Structure 1
Amino acid sequence: MPPSGSRHKGTSHLSYVYSPIVTVCVGIERKRFCVHKELICTKSTFFDKALNGSFMEAKSLTVRLEHVSVPLFSIFVSWAYDGRLVYVLPSEGNTTAAEDFFPLLCQTPASLEVDEDDASTWPLDIIAKLYILGDYLDSQQFKNNVISAIDGPFTWNRGLNDADVPTNALIKFVYEKTPSKSPLRDLMVDLMVYGQTWGQPTETWEDLPPEFMAKVMGFLGRRLPWKQCSGCYSRAIARNNLSDANADGMHLTDDRASFADSECFYHEHETKEEREECRQEE
């Protein structure tokens, strides 16, 4: 006979195996996921309220999530059981993780290579949407694990690449689906501030949420001295691939305002010749 008190030693976290099985029907196709009630209620306040309250789900032990993505929810279930962010490929299909993730992307990428067992290889869109799912399911631990899986914040020294920077479509999606104080919004700002190059036309940013651009502007201004030395300025110009064609009137050789060259800078003239004549008269 085992010593008294040793019965549950090291296995108390598995007590959920004795709890009833709950059926979660996900997506418009109503994909069925069967999970232990105690486990999913422990991991999600949403399920805890739905399955332990006065709602019909508490009696039927069935929850419908028609607007939730099947691949994303499968990742949540795998995490609930295993504690890791992995994507288990459906046994009845013959698709790859990349093919299953592709419809969830806000913008078509040039290429898509993912490892279903390594969340750091997943597109930023997938990570962001997993976080939003965690918000909906009210699972703080899941959201924290998702944020920790993003490769970008831990690779400042190597320099962020294009895959680390959110697309305009993803930024707008995040701002539509999250509350104003969401840490995911803050992450979008930081990835843009520290990873984006600025050689694109100014029209590129016109459709982004004003509150997002206000934060980006503030961060960019605060992280630099009011005036850079010539060496730093030259490196910034090179980093952003700026030239006369796309600099929007910025000086390309030193950090000074364009109007410092000429009183005529903000004048309106009908022709280039007229402007040149005005400048010569100064």
Structure 2
Amino acid sequence: MPGAQEHTEESATENRSNLVIAERSPPNLLDPQPIVEVHVTSPEGQTQSFKIHKNFICYYSPFFDAAFNSKSVEGESQGPELDDTPHDVFGIFVNWLYMQTINIESNREWPIRCMLLVNIWLLADRVMVPRLQKEALCLLGEAGRMNGEFPPSQYQRIYRNTTQDSPLRACIVKMWRDLTISNSELYPRELLVDLVNRLGPIKRRLEVERFCDAFAAVDEDSNLFEPFDMDFEPLIAEKTRVSSDMLEAPQEGKTKRKLVQTGFTEENIRGSIA
């Protein structure tokens, strides 16, 4: 039917248009672009404004895309506000928007680098930038293997701002090395539960491996654990000093003669015959 065919073609055209809109091209600065402001308040309560090209921040962050393009903010000069965010962390985020790499000075000590990467991950989670989250988590894992576990000062902040299935929580537990807890106030209850759930099976597996190693060592040295396959008749014959023909013909007279020949006393003979 012509009408149905026209309707189908219109739907296909509309779907292709929506697909083109969804698959936006990466931002660039080939043409003049509008500048927007984000007001960032640090955990200490200090506010600083960052000016960013709108096409960059809206392309990579659905959070800011909605904030700058929603009807409620059209025509308003006041940009969105972001609280509880360190200024240097947001600066790294802005630099990442343009350079697509996390730039942290290489001379920063591990606790500082760890704190920055943790806060970058939390910020990326908040503004919905999974690519930045993945990069921060990879850097945490690489640095952690060389430097050690997370600084305990970050545990409360991490667990306060993440959910139970958070990859950042899993990263903490996976990198855990020190089994001692010096100050329990630094460790959220959820972290202790995660550690028990992960380290318990690991401990049991290590105990089983150690037992198996010890078992194998004893087996190699003394053959104590060889399969128990033994012929009892020769041992019995040796113990009682009874010849093979006695086992074949156990009549009382013949048995008595053989025992006497082998040197048994009368008491032993009576006991053996009885």
Common topology (TM > 0.5) = yes
**Does residue 142 of the first structure (1) align with residue 132 of the second (2)?**
yes
Cα distance change, pair 232–121 in 1 and its aligned pair in 2 (3 A): farther
1:128 is matched with which residue: 106, 118, 134?
Answer: 118
**Conserved? CA contact 1:25–1:64, under 8 Å:** yes
SS at match of 2:81: strand
Aligned to 2:193: 214
C-alpha separation between the residues in 2 aligned to 1:16 and 1:39?
Answer: 13
Shift of 1:217: 1.9
C-alpha separation between the residues in 2 aligned to 1:149 and 1:221?
Answer: 27
When the two structures are aligned, how many residues end up with a matched partner? 185
Aligned to 1:176: 160
Q: Deviations over 1:175-219 (max 9, x none)?
A: 011122211111111111xxx133x3x664575223322222222
Q: Deviations over 1:64-113 (max 9, x none)?
A: 224322111000000001111115xxxxxxxxx69xxxxxxxxxxxxxx4
**Conserved? CA contact 2:58–2:64, under 8 Å:** yes
Cα distance change, pair 38–58 in 1 and its aligned pair in 2 (3 A): farther
- The unaligned stretches of length 5 or more in structure 1 are 1-10, 88-96, 99-112, 234-282
Cα distance change, pair 139–73 in 1 and its aligned pair in 2 (3 A): same
1:227 is matched with which residue: 182, 202, 208?
Answer: 208
Cα distance change, pair 210–12 in 1 and its aligned pair in 2 (3 A): closer
Alignment of 1:187-266 (within 5 A): 187-192=171-176, 196-198=177-179, 200=180, 204-205=183-184, 208-223=187-202, 224-229=205-210
SS at match of 1:78: helix
Alignment of 1:1-282 (within 5 A): 13-14=27-28, 17-27=31-41, 28-56=45-73, 59-60=76-77, 62-87=79-104, 113-114=107-108, 123-152=113-142, 155=145, 160-161=146-147, 164-192=148-176, 196-198=177-179, 200=180, 204-205=183-184, 208-223=187-202, 224-229=205-210
Which residue identity does 2:200 align to in structure 1?
G
C-alpha separation between the residues in 2 aligned to 1:77 and 1:207?
Answer: 31
**Conserved? CA contact 1:52–1:58, under 8 Å:** no
C-alpha separation between the residues in 2 aligned to 1:149 and 1:189?
Answer: 16
Runs of 4+ in structure 1 over 4 Å off: 202-207, 230-233
Cα distance change, pair 204–63 in 1 and its aligned pair in 2 (3 A): closer
SS at match of 1:55: helix
Cα distance change, pair 57–151 in 1 and its aligned pair in 2 (3 A): farther
Q: CA RMSD in A?
A: 3.3
Which residue identity does 1:34 align to in structure 2?
K
**Conserved? CA contact 2:114–2:140, under 8 Å:** yes
Cα distance change, pair 183–73 in 1 and its aligned pair in 2 (3 A): same
